[in-house]
Structure 1
Amino acid sequence: MRTTDLVLRRPDVLDAASMYELACRSEGTEAEPPGTYVRVCRDFASTSLVAVDRTGLAGFLLGYVKPRDPSSCFVWQAAVRRGPAPEDLAYAMVAGMALRVRSDGVRYFEVAVGVDDHVLAAIMRRIAGDQSVELEVTELFSDSDVGSGRGAKMLYRFAMREASAARMDG
């Protein structure tokens, strides 16, 4: 995958249907009701991201600034289309979103990672390493907290360095 073929931007309500469809097709992603994606695109676009290439929606991240900790952005859902180099796409999305929210004043970046999601865990370690910052990993919730065998989630959190002059479009 060449990143020059990829556009990272804030989602628009016109992206919501494609986001819902991708969530339904993505292994390991629990799709929310379709209206949730419309609301996210409308109300949380500044802390969410879509990746679009020449064939359409390639992936998305959904996040929000935590009400009790406005210095932290929490990513609660991610989906990446199957295809060549999904790890590279996921890395570009997470790194791009971290850069954008940092330039908007957020200091901490957090991602919920399933205990079996070794790819996302590796991406978070790589981004923290690229920024030379410490990555904190703690249990977000256990399998028994959510029931239905959905699996435990870990919270990956790092303090971001000062925003660079580079900004993401959108």
Structure 2
Amino acid sequence: MTAPHDLLEIPEGLTLDRPRPGDGAAMWRIARDSRVLDLNSSYSYLLWCRDYAHTSVVARDTAGAPVGFITGYVRPRAPHTLLVWQVAVDHDRRGRGLAASMLDALARRTVTQFGVRALETTVTPDNAASDRLFASFAERHDAPLTREVLFEAAAFPERGHQPEVLYRIGPLALAAMP
């Protein structure tokens, strides 16, 4: 078990890196195969890898192939806030703490390099795995977590979309990011 304030260990044989444009296709496939994420266009993943690599992370296997990723960006009107856009892990790599390790590493990097003091994401009410991921991150780093509906279901053009609940975690302390 990890002690408070310690980063989780990266699962054996994997490395964490910044995404490169060549990773975009694999990231799109991982998101598609998740069957829970809203799938963006393949082009958007290529652009994300080019324009937001510094606020995103990719997990690579021993051959260098992406097996998980987190995309994020620093909010233009809240420059000390990292918005986590998507978290995805290959099906056969789930349940080993990879998403939590990526989130810890990305938070540490953005706190250190960009002065991030808070993390935001949105989670639909039926996404128990994401709820656990972000709640455990807040607990691990002794940071307050608040939740409020950001976008009601009626705001989405497609029928059946659930509301997006904004999770805000922070303030994040530099001391909590070894």
TM beyond 0.5:
yes
Contact persistence 2:13–2:61 (CA under 8 A): yes
Correspondent of 2:116 among 92, 106, 112: 106
Taking structure 1 as reference, are residues 53 and 165 closer, same or farther at Cα in structure 2, changes over 3 Å only? Answer: same
Task: Please report how far the alpha carbon of residue 150 of structure 1 lies from its aligned counterpart in structure 2 after TM superposition.
Answer: 2.0
CA distance in 1, matches of 2:176, 2:70: 21
Q: TM-score, normalised by structure 1?
A: 0.89
Q: 2:13 matched to which residue of 1?
A: 5
Q: 1:90 matched to which residue of 2?
A: 99
| 1:35 equivalent in alignment to 2:43 | yes
Task: Please report how far the alpha carbon of residue 46 of structure 1 lies from its aligned counterpart in structure 2 after TM superposition.
Answer: 0.7
Task: Please report how far the alpha carbon of residue 98 of structure 1 lies from its aligned counterpart in structure 2 after TM superposition.
Answer: 1.1
| 1:23 equivalent in alignment to 2:31 | yes
Gaps of 5+ in 1: none
Correspondent of 2:168 among 154, 157, 170: 157
Deviations 1:22-74, CA, capped at 9 Å, x for gaps: 11211111221111111111111111111112363211111111111101010
Out of 68-77 and 146-155, give the one that drifted further.
146-155
Q: Name the SS for the 2:38 alignment partner.
A: coil
How many pairs are equivalent?
A: 166
CA distance in 2, matches of 1:133, 1:74: 16
CA distance in 1, matches of 2:150, 2:24: 27
Q: 1:134 matched to which residue of 2?
A: 144
Taking structure 1 as reference, are residues 163 and 50 closer, same or farther at Cα in structure 2, changes over 3 Å only? Answer: farther
Runs of 4+, deviation exceeding 4 Å: 163-166
Contact persistence 1:87–1:119 (CA under 8 A): no
CA-atom RMSD, angstroms? 1.9
Q: 2:4 matched to which residue of 1?
A: none
Task: Please report how far the alpha carbon of residue 141 of structure 1 lies from its aligned counterpart in structure 2 after TM superposition.
Answer: 1.0
Q: Name the SS for the 1:42 alignment partner.
A: helix
Task: Please report how far the alpha carbon of residue 106 of structure 1 lies from its aligned counterpart in structure 2 after TM superposition.
Answer: 0.9
Q: Identity percentage over the alignment?
A: 31
